[in-house]
C-alpha cells in the first residue's frame, strides 16, 4: 500500500520565508518521521512525531500530525539557502521498532538567497 | 557522533556483472536495512536483517540479491547479475532496536551500463 505522499512536489521560496510541506498516509501508524536529503546524498533524520502527539518542534522545524485526517505537515521557519533539499515523510510499517520505513515521493525545496 | 558508512560511493559496472555494496552500520545497532532510490523516484525498501537473518524483504529483492553480515561490523548487499534497471542509489541504514529512527549512510550510486 502507498504511504506518505507529499505535496507539493516542488516548492521554491526566498530566504527568510517559511516553507510548508504536507504528507498524507493511508494506514494506522505508530509514528511519522521526516527526513532530509541533500542532492545526491544520504537521508538525514529530522524529527519523529508519535501518533499520540499533535505537534512537535525542533529548532526551526515544526511538525504537526492529524491522525483523523491521516496527514502531517512540516514547517520550516525563516528558511535559509542551506535548507535547499528534498524532504520526505516516512512511516514504519507495523508497530515493530525494527520494521521497514515506507517513504513518500518527497518535496523538493529550493530556497533562493 | 557514530554514523553509517558505505563504500564505494560510486560503482560503475557492466550488465551481467556481480557487484557487492558494503556498509558499516552503527556499532551497537541491531537492525540493518538496504533501500534503493532510482533517480527522481521515492526511496524503496529492499530488505531488513536482524539476528543474522533476513527479517523482511520486498518483491524487488529477488534471487539476484543477497545480503550478508560476514563479521561483526560489515553488512553487504550483493547483486549477482546486474541489469540496467538496477541503476540506482543504494542506501544502507541501521536501527538500534530501542526506537523507530533509522540512520542512513551516504549511499552508493550504482550505474549499470
Distance CA A51, CA A92 (A): 12
Residues A41-94 pLDDT 10s: 889 999 999 999 999 999 999 999 999 999 999 999 999 999 999 999 999 887
Nearest Cα residue to B99 out of B43, B36, B46, B26: B26
> Per-residue confidence at B15, pLDDT binned at 50, 70, 90?
very high
Region B77-101: what's the mean pLDDT?
Answer: 95
> Per-residue confidence at B98, pLDDT binned at 50, 70, 90?
confident
Shortest CA distance from B10: residue in chain A: A40
Q: For testing the chain A interface, which of B100, B107, B110 should be mutated: the one with the most A CBs within 10 Å?
A: B100
Residues A13-45 pLDDT 10s: 999 999 999 999 988 899 999 999 998 788 999
Residues B33-54 pLDDT 10s: 999 999 888 899 999 999 999 9
Residues A89-110 pLDDT 10s: 999 887 777 889 999 989 999 9
| Cross-chain CB nearest to A45 (options B97, B101, B106) | B101
- Cell numbers describing residue B95: 536501527
**A46 near A58, Cβ under 8 Å?**
yes
Amino acid at each position: 500500500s502507498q504511504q506518505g505522499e507529499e505535496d507539493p512536489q516542488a516548492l521554491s521560496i526566498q530566504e527568510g520565508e517559511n516553507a510548508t510541506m504536507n504528507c498524507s498516509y493511508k494506514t494506522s501508524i505508530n509514528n511519522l518521521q521526516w527526513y532530509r536529503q541533500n542532492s545526491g546524498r544520504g537521508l538525514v533524520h529530522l524529527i519523529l512525531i508519535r501518533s499520540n502527539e499533535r505537534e512537535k518542534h525542533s529548532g526551526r522545524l515544526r511538525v504537526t500530525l492529524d491522525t483523523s485526517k491521516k496527514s502531517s505537515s512540516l514547517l520550516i521557519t525563516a528558511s535559509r539557502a542551506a535548507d535547499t533539499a528534498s524532504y520526505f515523510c516516512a512511516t514504519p510499517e507495523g508497530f515493530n521498532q525494527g520494521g521497514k520505513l515506507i517513504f513518500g515521493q518527497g518535496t523538493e525545496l529550493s530556497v533562493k538567497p | 557522533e557514530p554514523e553509517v558508512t558505505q563504500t564505494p560511493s560510486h560503482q560503475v559496472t557492466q550488465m551481467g556483472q556481480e557487484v557487492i555494496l558494503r556498509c558499516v552500520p552503527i556499532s551497537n545497532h541491531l537492525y540493518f536495512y538496504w533501500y534503493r532510490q532510482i533517480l527522481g523516484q521515492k526511496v524503496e525498501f529492499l530488505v531488513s536483517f536482524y539476528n543474522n537473518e533476513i527479517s523482511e524483504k520486498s518483491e524487488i529483492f529477488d534471487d539476484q540479491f543477497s545480503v550478508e553480515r560476514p563479521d561483526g561490523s560489515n553488512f553487504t548487499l550483493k547483486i549477482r547479475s546486474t541489469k540496467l534497471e538496477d541503476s540506482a542509489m543504494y542506501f544502507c541504514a541501521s536501527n538500534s532496536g530501542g526506537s523507530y529512527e533509522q540512520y542512513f549512510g551516504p549511499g552508493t550510486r550504482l550505474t549499470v551500463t
